[in-house]
């Protein structure tokens, strides 16, 4: 029982510490810089005293997480890691995760919630059957939390890119027709727009400045996002660049096509809205209406039959 309580304490402590580090990242970075300045000006102690001067997270938490990550990296198949890396690229690398860090977070949430559910069931006096059910539910729920978060991040990011793509194509078209080159037009998109698509264009420009060809950099952007509309646009740009076709005409045609596709998606969502509204109508609104309308009549009938 003591081992279980210690495990629960460590799991909750790690989750709280991770949330604190994410919410106050800027303040922590500033305090670390100030601390480094004071440490560099102060005399350095050797041996055990120098080790004790380090933070508790650097001395205890990070080594434990590092060993856990090494074990996960050792026993996780390469195909699974590559699959998770692609998913993280689609999601925009939330928290700067790689595949090992994501799996570490997922397993920590799985075991943490499972142990927490077990302890709470024991405190509540549940029998063996309910304890097993609650523990399995906690394990399953902890495993799903990270997966649902990743899927939600992927959907939100891809929808944001699809929504902003026609406007970005209009800006590219206007910039190229005004006399700018394609690279300069991409830089204008980075300056004038925001969101995931602006970040992707900025990263693509950085790769091109580092020596990667335009074709390869654009292909990598298509691979990182996983958006079909953006892939069509990049294929058209690459083909026009290879054939020597005017990019202005290609961009204008792509912009018009993307706007048609966006309008069709909006019409599709509008057509699905009445069907989706049936569930809350049947479960919540219709019963309330029936109670308000029929309750007086039912009461009168009951009174009449009682007489």
Please write the tens of the pLDDT for every residue from 186-220.
Answer: 888 888 888 888 888 989 999 888 888 888 898 88
For residue 1, pLDDT beyond 60: no
d(CA 121, CA 131): 6
- The verdict on 138 and 85 lying in the same domain is yes
- The verdict on 133 and 197 lying in the same domain is no
- Mean pLDDT, the chain, rounded, equals 79
Q: Are 106 and 72 in contact (CB under 8 A)?
A: no
- The verdict on 153 and 175 lying in the same domain is no
268 is written with which tokens? 């599709």
Mean pLDDT on 216-245? 86
Residue 213: CATH number of its domain: 1.20.81.30
Range 172-178 contact pairs with CB under 8 angstroms and sequence separation of 24 or more: 172/251, 173/248, 173/251, 173/252, 173/255, 176/247, 176/248, 176/251, 177/248
Q: What percent of the chain has pLDDT over 70?
A: 78
Number of domains the chain contains: 2
Domain boundary among 157, 191, 214: 157
- The verdict on 151 and 166 lying in the same domain is no
- The verdict on 53 and 190 lying in the same domain is no
- The verdict on 108 and 246 lying in the same domain is no
- The verdict on 26 and 147 lying in the same domain is yes
Residues spanned by the domain of 40: 2-157
- The verdict on 19 and 137 lying in the same domain is yes
Question: Is residue 78 a part of any domain in this protein?
Answer: yes
- The verdict on 198 and 232 lying in the same domain is yes
Question: Is residue 293 a part of any domain in this protein?
Answer: no
Residue pointed to by tokens 């004071």: 38
- In this structure, the dihedral spanned by the alpha carbons of residues 103, 109, 111 and 116, taken in order and rounded to 10 degrees, is 180
For residue 260, pLDDT beyond 60: yes
The answer to pTM > 0.75 is no
Mean pLDDT on 177-185? 84
Domain boundary among 129, 157, 185: 157
3-state secondary structure 160-195: HHHHHHHHHHHHHHHHHHCCCCHHHHHHHHHHHCCC
Please write the tens of the pLDDT for every residue from 19-74.
Answer: 655 555 666 666 666 666 655 554 544 444 555 555 655 666 667 767 767 777 77
């Amino acid at each position: 029982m003591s081992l279980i309580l210690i495990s629960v304490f460590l799991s909750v402590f790690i989750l709280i510490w991770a949330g604190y580090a994410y919410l106050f990242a800027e303040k922590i970075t500033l305090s670390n810089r100030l601390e480094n300045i004071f440490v560099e000006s102060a005399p350095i102690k050797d041996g055990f005293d120098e080790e004790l001067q380090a933070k508790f997270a650097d001395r205890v938490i990070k080594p434990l997480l590092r060993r856990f990550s090494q074990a996960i990296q050792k026993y996780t198949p390469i195909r699974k890691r590559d699959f998770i890396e692609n998913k993280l690229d689609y999601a925009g690398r939330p928290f700067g995760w790689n595949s090992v860090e994501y799996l570490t977070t997922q397993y920590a949430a799985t075991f943490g919630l499972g142990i927490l559910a077990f302890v709470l069931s024991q405190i509540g006096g549940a029998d063996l059957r309910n304890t097993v059910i609650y523990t399995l539910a906690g394990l399953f729920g902890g495993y799903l939390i990270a997966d649902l978060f990743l899927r939600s991040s992927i959907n939100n990011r891809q929808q944001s890119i699809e929504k902003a793509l026609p406007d970005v194509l209009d800006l590219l078209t206007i910039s190229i027709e005004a006399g700018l080159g394609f690279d300069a037009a991409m830089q204008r998109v980075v300056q004038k727009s925001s969101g995931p698509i602006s970040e992707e264009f900025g990263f693509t420009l950085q790769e091109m400045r580092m020596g990667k060809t335009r074709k390869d950099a654009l292909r990598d952007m298509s691979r990182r996002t996983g958006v079909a509309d953006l892939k069509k646009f990049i294929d058209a740009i690459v083909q026009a660049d290879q054939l020597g076709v005017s990019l202005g005409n290609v961009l204008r045609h792509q912009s018009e096509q993307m706007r048609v596709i966006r309008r069709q998606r909006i019409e599709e969502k509008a057509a699905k809205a009445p069907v989706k509204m049936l569930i809350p109508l049947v479960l919540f609104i219709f019963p309330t209406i029936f109670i308000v309308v029929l309750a007086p009549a039912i009461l009168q009938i009951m009174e009449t039959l009682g007489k």
